[in-house]
Amino acid sequence: MTETVREHETKPSGRGRGIRLVVFRILMVLIALLHLVGFGAWRGVLAPWVVLPDDVDHGWERTPELHRLADGAAGAIFVAVAAAALVLAVRPRGSSGLAAWLASALALTGGFSWLSALIQGHDDVLSTLVFSVVWIGLVAAVFVWLHPEGRDVLRGGSTDADRPARSLRLMLGVITVAALVGLAATVVWRASGGTFEDPQEDDLFSLVYFCTLWALGGFLAGRGRAGWRALAVILLAGAAYAVVGGLSIAIA
């Protein structure tokens, strides 16, 4: 009798976890599609080599050629977010470190859009701020409540028993330090009045987001947080893209 009661008590809980896992997988696929298709990641990725017409109303005349670096950084972020989301859609368990990185990426890129609106001089800063607060709440709900290892995600991911090799840790450390240096240089440059074309441009955020996410990712992967293998591949690919794309822009 007691065993029967226990079965009835645990089944709904298990069924609820199963439903949340299915919803989480679906959301990860949707997030990947949103960044790859909805945000036009391919346009940003090609920015260092191909200049495409800018059909977004920025509130001022924007010359795409002058923003290739920031557009390329944005494209790299979109592709990285999509890749991480697809990995989590396939393998949500055992990847809490990767999930923590993706949650941070989504919170940064969507949660602080009000700062971008403020710099660009938009009139809807207050509504954008409300959106940012709601967005961060939704991101937290997805990765803390829907993810099967939400508590680990909240702690930055659990530690994997199999740690990265020393050579890989060294490369990840270099990426982390380089990203932090790039972050500091970008902020100082912008604070001193540096712009690519116009004071209302939000290129700063693309560069800051890129550097912040690669620094955080290098830290998490270097310490062997669960899902570090996929995260390391994403970071190394993004770093290689940044070097090649940056050199292409510099010598063009």
Strand partners, 225: 159
Check pLDDT > 50 for residue 61. Answer: yes
| CA trace torsion 59, 46, 98, 177 (10° rounding) | -90
Domain of residue 139, residue span: 2-251
Q: How high is the pLDDT of residue 1? A: 40
At 11, the pLDDT band (50, 70, 90 cuts) reads: very low
Domain count, the chain: 1
| CA trace torsion 98, 100, 103, 105 (10° rounding) | -70
Check pLDDT > 60 for residue 13. Answer: no
Q: Which amino acid type is present at position 93?
A: R
At 203, the pLDDT band (50, 70, 90 cuts) reads: confident
At 133, the pLDDT band (50, 70, 90 cuts) reads: confident
Q: How high is the pLDDT of residue 3? A: 42
On average, the pLDDT of the chain sits at 87
Query: Which of the residue ranges 42-56, 84-98, 130-144 has the most confident prediction, judged by mean pLDDT?
Result: 84-98
pLDDT tens by residue, 87-118:
999 999 999 999 999 999 999 887 777 677 67
CB 64 within 8 A of CB 54: yes
Q: How high is the pLDDT of residue 125? A: 66
Backbone angles phi, psi at 15, to 5 degrees: -65, -40
| pTM for this entry | 0.88
- Sequence-ordered list of residues with C-beta below 8 angstroms from that of 218, at least 6 positions apart, any chain: 172, 173, 175, 176, 179, 235
CA distance 252 to 247: 8
Check pLDDT > 80 for residue 33. Answer: yes
CB burial string 125-138: b at 16+ within 10 A, e below: beebbebbeebbee
